[in-house]
Amino acid sequence: MGTEDNTKKLLAAHGFRNLASAYYNLCPPKLYELAIMHSEGVIADMGPLVVRTGKYTGRTPRDRFIVQEPSSEKQIWWGPVNKPFDSEAFDHLYHRLLAYFEGRGVFVQDCYVGADPSYRLRIRVVTEHAWQSLFAYNMFIRINNKQELEQFVPDFLVIAAPNFQADPEIDHTLSEAFILINLAKKIVIIGGTGYGGEIKKSIFTVMNYMMPQRNVFPMHCSANVGSEGRSAVFFGLSGTGKTSLSADPDRNLIGDDEHGWSDVGIFNFEGGCYAKVINLSEEAEPQIYKCTRMFGTILENVIYDSESRKLDLNDSSITENTRAAYPIYYIDNALLNGTTTHPSDIVMLTCDAFGVLPPIAKLTVEQAVYHFLSGYTAKVAGTEAGIEEPVATFSTCFGAPFMILSPVRYANQLKTRIEKHKPNCWLVNTGWIRGPYGEGERIPIKYTRNMIKAALNGELDKASFRKEPYFGLFIPEYCPGVPPELLTPHRTWRDQSAYEQQVMKLRQLFRKNFEQFSSEVDDSLKTIM
């Protein structure tokens, strides 16, 4: 196992023929050498490998499809997120992709998804580029045992070929890019895009399909655990602070993005981190910043000086979505077995630009399920053309693009686990106070950190709570290290009439969004807002 001939034999079982070369589970230094030899990237100051992903510098949800076939079609949440793709068209495109690889070289990484051996998925990632193979090495769980590799049989195959472009007229895609997930044949094919996140998130989508069938609740969240054993999970959309707030030097990091909650506890799906690094500073994020200066880290679309090769993390001239992919053991306080106990606390993060949600509130079971299904945050004026006032964004389960089953199915799993294990549930607003965006101010991160700390170490277990009248949320009367007046939003507004107008506007948006679930949820959820 590991020789080129053996690797070609492995790939022949998947339909690969006449390969020029085939590399198996190469280590990072060898992948560096081949990436540089093939002009895939450059080595920047301190050692990271900087690559360009081409036209696509982020995920392209419009080009992702689920193959419609009998074994899964009745379970899929069909719609704008999960669009159907004809099975015969998939076969045709798959064979065209295999033909593309004839006479070319490939890179193979065999690895695991899921830190708990009872639930892990064995995946084989076949890539066109050496740097993509390093991406798989960094992001998934590495297999260091030679005997395990010799006996490895993949549960799922992922093939990624950025330079192979689909023909929409022939292949029935929407563009030259495609991400096709075939649950029956257990194959993912990706073409026309070099963005590494497509490899990572296609497998997360697969886990979101497979895990509920094994009574595991898949979560788009970060997770950590304190020295006293109290663990926490953090749900939140981009810009809410999910990565920052879970990266606590006094707690051990379980993972930064994808986890499962089984009957035993929490486990990380991944073996690495994929951090957004635009405007990253050493002062605010010392751990992640350090990783951008390490050999083995892949930096996607980060700008560097051509002479000194020094990085400029503040330059967004290619994209705002600059990324770093690195193994989780690069983080000093990471818990390397990737598992922990049932969470003592569940934190749902939102960035409320309307300025009306409290900085922290304790949730009932029903409220936790409601906010999980809603997945609310807000875009603010100036972030996109045409946005002149806060725009509410709802991404169900805090990760709608990856939820392949009905959101209510995931919500029911969450409810069952909250009722059984009784974690504290919190809604934390990292957005605005004293007014909406443009008038008020963003909640200082030091206060948010103090609130999270007090919640997770049990200090708020002893606090008194009062129910605010607008959203029915329970606000602590006191929180160490936080000015008391900041805990209640309306007390920070000068114009109470303007505050109530914003409240009613946001409540109505919540209600309108929740109508899509009204036929599937209990009456207790319909009256939350």
Nearest alpha carbon to residue 89 among 171, 24, 157, 11: 171
The single residue of 242, 259, 417, 453 carrying the catalytic annotation is: 242
End-of-domain residue from the set 170, 187, 214: 214
User: Is 443 domain-assigned?
Assistant: yes
Distance in angstroms (rounded) separating the CA atoms of residues 478 and 487: 8
Distance in angstroms (rounded) separating the CA atoms of residues 436 and 389: 9
Find the domain containing 292 and state its range: 273-330
pLDDT digits (tens, 9 = 90+) for 249-291: 899 999 999 999 999 999 999 999 999 999 999 988 899 999 9
312 and 376 fall within a common domain: no
Distance in angstroms (rounded) separating the CA atoms of residues 398 and 237: 6
Res. 390 pLDDT band, cuts 50 70 90: low
Predicted confidence at residue 385, as pLDDT, reads 43
Predicted confidence at residue 389, as pLDDT, reads 63
Question: Could you confirm whether 173 is annotated as catalytic?
Answer: no
The single residue of 3, 238, 464, 518 carrying the catalytic annotation is: 238
478 and 405 fall within a common domain: yes
Domain count, the chain: 3
CA distances from 146 to 2, 6, 110, 154, 387 (A): 10, 14, 12, 16, 55
pLDDT at 211 over 90: yes
Res. 383 pLDDT band, cuts 50 70 90: very low
User: Is 339 domain-assigned?
Assistant: no
The amino acid occupying position 466 is R
Residues with Cβ < 8 Å from 199, sequence gap 6 or more? 125, 127, 132, 135, 136, 139, 158, 160, 190
For the chain, the residue count is 529
What does the pLDDT average to over 440-452?
93
CB 123 within 8 A of CB 140: yes
What does the pLDDT average to over 460-484?
94
Question: Could you confirm whether 344 is annotated as catalytic?
Answer: no
The single residue of 59, 64, 415, 417 carrying the catalytic annotation is: 59
User: Is 238 domain-assigned?
Assistant: no
Kindly state the DSSP code that residue 229 receives in the 8-state scheme. S
Strand runs (DSSP E) across 192-302, as ranges? 217-226, 231-235, 251-255, 258-261, 266-268, 272-276, 298-300
292 and 393 fall within a common domain: no
Question: Could you confirm whether 57 is annotated as catalytic?
Answer: no
Question: Could you confirm whether 238 is annotated as catalytic?
Answer: yes
pLDDT at 492 over 50: yes
The single residue of 8, 64, 201, 230 carrying the catalytic annotation is: 201
Predicted confidence at residue 523, as pLDDT, reads 84
Predicted confidence at residue 15, as pLDDT, reads 96
CB 195 within 8 A of CB 183: no
The single residue of 243, 292, 377, 393 carrying the catalytic annotation is: 243
Rg (CA), the chain: 23
What does the pLDDT average to over 461-480?
94
**pLDDT over 90, % of the chain:** 88
Q: What secondary structure does DSSP assign to 375-440, as a single string?
A: -EEEE-TTSSTT--S-EEEE-GGG-GGG--S-HHHHHHHHHHHHHHH--EEEEEE-SEESSSTTTS
Predicted confidence at residue 388, as pLDDT, reads 56
58 and 138 fall within a common domain: yes
206 and 355 fall within a common domain: no
18 and 66 fall within a common domain: yes
Domain of 323: which CATH number?
A: 2.170.8.10
Question: Could you confirm whether 323 is annotated as catalytic?
Answer: yes
User: Is 413 domain-assigned?
Assistant: yes
Distance in angstroms (rounded) separating the CA atoms of residues 367 and 425: 9
The single residue of 110, 116, 171, 257 carrying the catalytic annotation is: 257
- Mapped onto helix, strand or coil, the DSSP state of residue 513 is helix
Res. 381 pLDDT band, cuts 50 70 90: very low
Res. 382 pLDDT band, cuts 50 70 90: very low
Predicted confidence at residue 384, as pLDDT, reads 44
What does the pLDDT average to over 94-116?
98
User: Is 237 domain-assigned?
Assistant: no
Domain of 176: which CATH number?
A: 3.40.449.10
pLDDT digits (tens, 9 = 90+) for 235-244: 998 878 888 8
308 and 349 fall within a common domain: no
Strand partners, 323: 276, 300
pLDDT at 25 over 90: yes
What does the pLDDT average to over 32-50?
98
Helix (H) or strand (E) holding 97: helix 87-101
Question: Could you confirm whether 220 is annotated as catalytic?
Answer: yes
Distance in angstroms (rounded) separating the CA atoms of residues 180 and 187: 8
279 and 354 fall within a common domain: no
Predicted confidence at residue 29, as pLDDT, reads 98
312 and 406 fall within a common domain: no
324 and 397 fall within a common domain: no
Predicted confidence at residue 460, as pLDDT, reads 95
**pLDDT over 70, % of the chain:** 98
- Which CB contacts under 8 angstroms, 24+ apart, belong to 241-244? 241/349, 241/351, 241/430, 241/445, 241/448, 242/349, 243/275, 243/276, 243/288, 244/284, 244/285, 244/445
CB atoms within 10 A of CB 213: 9
Matching residue, tokens 């409220």? 367
pLDDT at 386 over 90: no
Domain of 454: which CATH number?
A: 3.90.228.20
User: Is 227 domain-assigned?
Assistant: no
User: Is 246 domain-assigned?
Assistant: no
What does the pLDDT average to over 46-61?
96
Question: What tokens appear for 431 in the block?
Answer: 């957005």
Question: Could you confirm whether 243 is annotated as catalytic?
Answer: yes
194 and 95 fall within a common domain: yes
End-of-domain residue from the set 330, 360, 395: 330
Nearest alpha carbon to residue 278 among 256, 258, 303: 303
The single residue of 120, 251, 323, 362 carrying the catalytic annotation is: 323
355 and 411 fall within a common domain: yes
Question: Could you confirm whether 466 is annotated as catalytic?
Answer: no
Question: What tokens appear for 210 in the block?
Answer: 């497979």
Predicted confidence at residue 367, as pLDDT, reads 97
User: Is 259 domain-assigned?
Assistant: no
- The bridge status of strand 178-182 relative to strand 187-191 is antiparallel
Question: What tokens appear for 297 in the block?
Answer: 């880290």
The single residue of 120, 129, 220, 259 carrying the catalytic annotation is: 220
| 490/425: higher pLDDT | 425
Predicted confidence at residue 449, as pLDDT, reads 93
Kindly state the DSSP code that residue 492 receives in the 8-state scheme. G
- Which CB contacts under 8 angstroms, 24+ apart, belong to 453-460? 453/248, 453/250, 453/481, 454/479, 454/480, 454/481, 455/345, 455/347, 455/360, 455/424, 455/426, 456/226, 456/230, 456/232, 456/251, 456/344, 456/345, 457/226, 457/228, 457/230, 458/230, 460/362, 460/424
pLDDT at 169 over 50: yes
End-of-domain residue from the set 302, 330, 358: 330
